[in-house]
Amino acid sequence: MGHFPLMDLSSQRILLTGGAGFLGRAVLERLAARGARDVFVPRRRDYDLTREADVERVYRDARPDVVIHLAAEVGGIGANQANPGRYFFANMAMAMHLIEQGRAAGIRKFVQAGTICAYPKFTPVPFHEDRLWDGYPEETNAPYGIAKKAAMVMLDGYRRQYGLASAYVLPVNLYGPWDNFDLGTSHVIPALIRKCVEAREAGADHVTCWGTGSASREFLYVDDAAEGLLRAAEVMEEPTPVNLGTSAEITIRDLVALIARLSGFAGEIRWDASKPDGQPRRCLDTERAERLLGWKAAVGLEEGLRRTIDWYAANRGHRAMHDPSRPA
């Protein structure tokens, strides 16, 4: 358990940026379950949070006690390579204006979702929070990762200078219902689920996957991430970085085999080794989350994948194709 008194979120006015996105939807559900009735979700068509005037206006409209900042501009490797300047500016500007205007408005606490893209490219496995500053991030993710890490430094400065309470969590790769299943922009789990389900239905004899399958990753079910984030909002007062993950590492090859089995696809899996594997290993040390937040992931990978596949099968209309990184 954390060292700080528990904040009762049900009695707070909450500004939840990114509340219409994949993680935001799960956070909203968990806030409702806690009895939080006053949650303001700004939509991008109404507020451009990279602009100071819009951030001032959102504070006037929401009058929050607590800000939970999930909104981000982010994409896969290709999008990061195409937009490094925009991704740095947008993520830095949103955090900078929200934190400063929050201080000026007298908010009680600021909760920032970080990213494991902030870790150095060659971080020893499992990633421990004390290693965050041991080197430069993987180049394609660096502008995004460093902007998010700079927000942590800003929050630390604001705690020391102004007494602003804050929390900072670093979720590992998320998956679950309402994820983005668009093959052009989706991440590995939704892309593999869609490939395997469509191949099964088409009677295809094989699916082709990128890389060699040797890289490893760790995946966190979106509801577990939402719970960890709200535990941090409840108990943390300072932006000590806290990993949110399962500490369970799986190779992409084993992941594909598991998704194929759960999807009912019995064909061959072929590997296109001309395509990149990305970072060789990714696995988090989650001891700090257990110690400070009293939080542990509750949903195992097989159970989470089963739920996600069932959801995808039931929701393959326009909703399942929604890309939560784009404005609704």
Instruction: Give the residue numbers annotated as catalytic, written as ranges.
Output: 144
The candidate with the shortest Cα–Cα distance to 322, out of 192, 177, 173, 182, is: 182
Residue type, 1: M
CA distances to 6, 142, 180 from 9, in Å: 9, 33, 29
In sequence order, the 6+-apart residues with CB closer than 8 A to the CB of 288 are 129, 240, 242, 243
| Rounded Cα–Cα distance for residues 75 and 114 (Å) | 15
The candidate with the shortest Cα–Cα distance to 207, out of 217, 199, 216, 215, is: 199
* 154, two tokens: 């800003």
The neighbouring-strand residues paired with 68 are: 16, 111
On the CB side of 145, CA atoms within 13 Å amount to 22
Please state, as a whole number, how many other Cβ atoms lie within 10 Å of the Cβ of residue 41: 18
Cβ(178)–Cβ(324) below 8 Å: yes
The candidate with the shortest Cα–Cα distance to 311, out of 203, 200, 221, 179, is: 179
